[in-house]
């Protein structure tokens, strides 16, 4: 038998898509900076002109899952990193956006077999979000680490022939589970409130 574990030393052979929500871009822009810093320091060429990272901007977190799924289906990337910031307001809007983006990102990953990192902050206040986007630390850095680890892990799995047979790759991409059925399953989960570690 074997032990599989992602590493952080094979980053130069990995490709990433980063999907960023413009809503609360004071926060998401900082998450992106942290994410790029981490990727760059692990040997990834983060220049948008390079062949290693593509950046996809969407209006808000609600739109992230659609593009995450499209990016994963393209089979161009070893991992997809989703960056967003959902901050509580005075209406229940937060709950709808937070629930859909978390379920949608999980579905995109599960349906396509491509790691999709949930880099969406869900906070009660702008202050809490900013603390996690540079003031106290930058979660964008952590999200990039998750993508590096998962990209590497999947690569090892593929090299080992352990991944769902490559002859079935088309089946994964084109006959993915209908979103609706996954949503039924996912809707049973809850979105937890953040604490200092989230």
Applying CB under 6 A, the residues found at the interface with ligand INI are 21, 23-24, 59-63, 84-87, 89, 93-94, 97
User: Does residue 42 have an active-site annotation?
Assistant: no
CB of 166 to ligand INI, least distance (A): 36
Other Cβ atoms closer than 10 A to 59 = 10
Does residue 16 contact residue 52 with C-beta atoms inside 8 Å? yes
121: helix, coil or strand? strand
Nearer to ligand INI, 93 or 136 (CB): 93
Nearer to ligand INI, 23 or 77 (CB): 23
CB of 60 to ligand INI, least distance (A): 2
Nearer to ligand INI, 64 or 172 (CB): 64
Q: Which of 86, 112, 128, 87 is nearest to 182 (CA)?
A: 112
Cβ contacts of 94-100, under 8 Å, gap ≥ 24:
94/122, 95/191, 97/60, 97/61, 97/62, 98/61, 98/122, 98/191, 99/187, 99/191, 100/62, 100/65
Nearer to ligand INI, 19 or 172 (CB): 19
CB of 75 to ligand INI, least distance (A): 27
Catalytic residue among 42, 93, 139, 183: 93
CA distance 121 to 103: 14
Burial 142-160 (b: 16+ CB within 10 A, else e): bbbbbbbbbbbbbbbeeee
CB of 19 to ligand INI, least distance (A): 11
Catalytic residues: 93
């Amino acid at each position: 038998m074997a032990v599989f574990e992602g590493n952080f030393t094979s980053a130069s052979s990995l490709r990433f898509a980063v999907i960023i929500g413009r809503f609360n871009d004071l926060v998401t822009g900082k998450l992106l900076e942290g994410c790029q810093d981490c990727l760059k320091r692990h040997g990834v060429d983060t220049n948008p002109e390079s062949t290693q990272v593509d950046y996809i901007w969407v209006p808000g977190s609600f739109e992230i899952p659609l593009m995450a799924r499209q990016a994963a289906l393209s089979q161009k990337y070893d991992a997809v990193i989703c960056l967003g910031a959902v901050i509580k307001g005075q209406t229940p809007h937060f709950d709808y956006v937070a629930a859909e983006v978390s379920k949608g990102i999980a579905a995109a990953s599960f349906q396509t077999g491509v790691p999709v990192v949930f880099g969406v902050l869900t906070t009660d206040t702008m202050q809490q979000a900013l603390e996690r986007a540079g003031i106290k630390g930058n979660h964008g850095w952590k999200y990039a680490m998750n993508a590096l680890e998962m990209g590497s892990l999947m690569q090892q799995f593929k090299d080992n022939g352990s991944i769902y047979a490559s002859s079935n790759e088309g089946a994964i991409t084109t006959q993915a589970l209908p979103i609706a059925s996954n949503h039924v399953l996912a809707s049973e989960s809850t979105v937890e409130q953040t604490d200092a570690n989230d």
